Amino acid sequence: MANNIKEQIKADLDLAKETGQLRIERIREIVKNAVLQVGSELKFELQEGSKDFRILVREAVSTVIENLQERGGEIKEEVTASIEGALEAVNSKRHENIAKTQAEVKQLQAKLDDEEDKIQQEVDGILAEIKETNTETSSHVKNAIDSAINTIQNSEEAGLLKKRYAQLQAQLAIVRANLAARYGGRGEEVNNYLEDAKKWYSQARPNAEIIVGNVKDKHLQLDDKLGEAGSLIARRERQIKQVLKELLMSATSLFKDKESVENEKETVHK
């Protein structure tokens, strides 16, 4: 088993050297493919705590070190890439299951959103009917009814709860993108989480009139980071982890500032 993976990785590394393609991303792919292929040939099962796969990972990483340390100099990035490639191979099945589950969650969320929309439409219809059927009442009663209906339709508490929910969902999506990128998730998986973050973030954005000063700057910063992360994933560049980390920090900071703005608005209204 050890010889199989050592020979394959060494051959692929030598070929990459000869063709001038021994880059960080290539090392990651070499190790990932070797672990997957050898594991498949030996019919190992991708299961938690698998001793066989642990051995494969250990041998894969040590082979990269043995073949690159002769060059001298710093090889930290190469070793990191080899570990990432091995982990991605071992966890590939799990990430497929995560992606499948995430798709099911999206379907359920869409169904939930649809049901909530139907509730809102029904409430709006009932309120409109109440308003229409009381046109013949005295102006005093009519004003009371109109005021009650406006209070129900324009509940600031309900709007604030929806915003907070969207904020939390956006942050959670960014956290999931960070975890997926850190623990061997595929580019598509990371990108799906970023798309979720964009969707929830758009729902959490405050009205233009309350975006001021520092909050406005941080909105622009978060927009830029979301765009940059998407571009890096498409190009499979290594700094994606750093950008995702910065994105999470930006989102956390932004939503704290937004909460302060909203609290100030509530105080003014009171």
Q: pLDDT at residue 82 above 70?
A: yes
For residue 68, what pLDDT is reported? 85
Report the interhelical angle of 187-204 vs 156-182 (nearest 10°).
Answer: 160
Contact 31, 60 (CB under 8 A): yes
For residue 219, what pLDDT is reported? 74
Q: What is the pLDDT of residues 185-234, one digit of tens each?
A: 778 888 889 999 998 888 887 654 455 556 667 777 788 888 888 888 76
Of 30, 217, 140, 265, whose CA–CA distance to 22 is shortest?
Answer: 30
Separation CA 99–CA 23 (nearest Å):
28
Separation CA 248–CA 181 (nearest Å):
13
Q: Rounded to whole angstroms, what are the CA distances from 59 to 17, 35, 68?
A: 20, 10, 14
Separation CA 264–CA 270 (nearest Å):
10
The enclosing H or E element of 130 equals helix 92-132
Dihedral-angle region of residue 185 (phi above 0 means left; psi in -120 to 50 means alpha; beta otherwise): beta
- Half-sphere exposure (CA, 13 Å, Cβ side) for 154? 6
Separation CA 38–CA 43 (nearest Å):
8
User: Looking at per-residue confidence, does 97 or 31 come out higher?
Assistant: 31
Q: What is the pLDDT of residues 114-168, one digit of tens each?
A: 898 898 889 888 888 888 877 777 788 888 888 888 887 777 677 778 888 888 8
Cα-Cα end-to-end distance for the chain = 72
> Cα torsion at 148, 152, 156, 162 (round to 10°)?
180
Contact 60, 86 (CB under 8 A): yes
What are the structural domains of the chain? 2-90 (no CATH), 92-154 (no CATH), 156-270 (1.20.120.660)
Specify the pTM: 0.67
Q: Rounded to whole angstroms, what are the CA distances from 146 to 138, 159, 243?
A: 12, 20, 50
